Amino acid sequence: MAQWSGREARGGGGTSVVVKMESPGWAVPQSEAAGGKAARGKNARQITWVLLLKAHRAAGKLTGAASAALSVAAAARRRVAAGRTDADAGAAPPGESPALRTRFYGFLRAFLLLSMLLLAVDVAAHLQGWHLAVDVPDLLAFEGLFAAGYASWVRIRLEYLAPALQFLANACVVLFLIQSADRLLLCLGCLWIKLRGIKPVPKPGGKGSDDVEAGAGEFPMVLVQIPMCNEKEVYQQSIGAVCSLDWPRSNFLVQVLDDSDDAATSALIKEEVEKWQREGVRILYRHRVIRDGYKAGNLKSAMNCSYVKDYEFVVIFDADFQPQPDFLKRTVPHFKGNEDVGLVQARWSFVNKDENLLTRLQNINLCFHFEVEQQVNGIFLNFFGFNGTAGVWRIKALEDSGGWMERTTVEDMDIAVRAHLKGWKFLFLNDVECQCELPESYEAYRKQQHRWHSGPMQLFRLCFVDIIKSKIGFWKKFNLIFLFFLLRKLILPFYSFTLFCIILPVTMFIPEAELPAWIVCYIPATMSLLNILPAPKSFPFIVPYLLFENTMSVTKFNAMISGLFQLGSAYEWVVTKKSGRSSEGDLVALVEKQSKQQRVGSAPNLDSLTKESAHIKRDSMKKKHNRIYRKELALSFLLLTAAARSLLSVQGIHFYFLLFQGVSFLVVGLDLIGEQIE
């Protein structure tokens, strides 16, 4: 501290005492010095209070974090206690084979038990002071049964297990690099499209949204189909949106194709159709008693109607899709002057993409699918897989391709491949969007992904010979067989599951085989970054997205195997559960629109519908529960065990990846992602 000294200073008419620091240049009156001491005391007290306040806040945050952690743990414990496993009677998804599920889970359980045993052995060896990479001769110098057994285990690892595992790992790495190169080329193609401003443009003469003075004779005849099955939550919004399309009413007909097996739901849908019929809309209700062929059979039955011959185009909207009024005016003109165009596909947008973490992650995937995959393939190859909805088909192209077939669960991809083999071209309109709903529960999403990944393998078996015999060019055949089917539908789920969920944890127990850090971290992170570029607002979710995609590889791999080997679960077509969250806002907009048009007697009773919807939601919330997924939990414990084993061999990046991936599997296995289900 500075030393203080005083002296008298005489001058003028009095004497004053000056206090100064020994350091030159400082001199203050004594009264000010006293004030300074008081100020310092006050400042010290203020600093003390500030520090105490900050400490209190920090303690509060720690307490809050601990309380939140305990709450999450308690919620998880309650959900586990009240949950149903996927092995419970009646709880098994109807799209899965019980025998296959039991065998697969049995394999994972045995694998988990073996990994825990190996972890115990390695920990015991580590406690003995033996380096995990020690040579067999060095181990033989130790006496005892455990040393001899551990030496035998190391010898088996070196001579038999490690070479085979390293070969399999290298093969998966090669597949991973090929798939990553394909993903990179797609992104470069999308960048080229953006920079050059390339997009499909209707030829002059096509009637679009600006042709307000054109007569009804200038618009082609369009058939609009809405296939649905027990869609009680969303039928009103889809029918209302389709009936409000800006197209001459005499030139389009709406078919509501109801496959519901619930009499109450069918009655509601029929009543909605009759309401719009009274408004002058040309709309028909069709209900099948025998529901053969699922959606494909429904569409096939509708196309067999005698009046279909009067129409040139057919538009398909699933029950949760809500097209904008100008949808037809922005899509149909692209057929004008392009007689070889068989399909015009619009992209999807999602009304509930921010509902929960699950919908946010789905949005990332589907944004990349539409903006990159389908747009690039549409521009450069004139081919992509039909999405099953929000697309306009030339009826002649459907008939030329053989029409709808019930041979697979991906009837949309089936008709697209057959039309491509017949020489028809496809256009993808990235700037025309159609709103729909994403699955909000993991169970609904899981069933959807099972169908989406088992169906393509069924189709590949059925159409492989037809692709070889077709008259399309060599590069189109190469694209269909290698890129479209093998690389993106078979190799992707195979290496994703095998490499990151099996091989990587096994290399922790067999350290003689290894995966480099750039395979574990850097390339997956780069690919995830490319995937998230079409949805830049989702960038904060890049890490959960990477982990969740690996977690979903279990379902996708299982589905791929089911479809490839024609197992029972590959032939089940499960309707994706809708929540109906998007219907209320659209219903309000619809009522407002009808009020403006003074549709007397046709507007629904919004108050009663809102009360009924709220009552249904309250009842459903009481019935909702979570489901415990045993395969995901088994893989979670396997990955966490491998993470613990990696600490013994100082595998830095491998430990963090295994730890976070194990936690991701744990969260999904406990059904803590997305909404609960009924």
Q: Give me 287's structure tokens.
A: 């209900």
Classify residue 502 by its DSSP letter: I
Strand order in the sheet with 313-316: 283-287, 252-258, 222-228, 313-316, 391-394, 341-350, 425-436
Query: What are residue 605's phi and psi, to 5 degrees?
Result: -75, 100
Residue type, 11: G
Choosing from 412, 414, 586, 671, the catalytic residue is 412
Asked if residue 665 lies in contact with residue 633, where contact means CB atoms within 8 angstroms, the answer is yes
Please choose, from the candidates 636, 604, 659, 655, the residue with its C-alpha nearest in 3D space to the C-alpha of residue 112: 636
Q: What share of the chain is helix, strand, coil (3-state, %, to 5)?
A: 60, 10, 25
Continuous H helices in 260-325: 263-278, 294-303
Asked if residue 671 lies in contact with residue 629, where contact means CB atoms within 8 angstroms, the answer is yes
Please choose, from the candidates 665, 667, 641, the residue with its C-alpha nearest in 3D space to the C-alpha of residue 655: 641
CA distances from 360 to 354, 526, 544, 545 (A): 6, 19, 10, 9
Can you tell me the distance from the alpha carbon of 294 to that of 383, in angstroms, rounded to the nearest whole number? Answer: 25
674 - beta bridge partners? Answer: 441
210 is catalytic: no
For the chain, the C-alpha Rg in angstroms (whole number) is 33
Asked if residue 428 lies in contact with residue 378, where contact means CB atoms within 8 angstroms, the answer is yes
CA distances from 375 to 147, 430, 473 (A): 61, 7, 21
Furthest C-alpha separation in the chain: 123
Choosing from 259, 318, 320, 586, the catalytic residue is 259
Can you tell me the distance from the alpha carbon of 422 to that of 396, in angstroms, rounded to the nearest whole number? Answer: 12
Classify residue 197 by its DSSP letter: T
Place of tokens 């109607």: 305
Residue type, 334: H
Asked if residue 598 lies in contact with residue 251, where contact means CB atoms within 8 angstroms, the answer is no
Q: Give me 377's structure tokens.
A: 């393939």
- Range 639-658 burial, b when 16+ CB lie within 10 A, else e: bbbbbbbbbbbebeebbebb
Asked if residue 235 lies in contact with residue 228, where contact means CB atoms within 8 angstroms, the answer is yes
Can you tell me the distance from the alpha carbon of 371 to that of 534, in angstroms, rounded to the nearest whole number? Answer: 7
Can you tell me the distance from the alpha carbon of 348 to that of 537, in angstroms, rounded to the nearest whole number? Answer: 17
Strands (E), 84-216: 84-85
Helix and strand numbers, DSSP H then E, in the chain: 24, 12
259 is catalytic: yes
The residues annotated as belonging to the active site are 259, 412
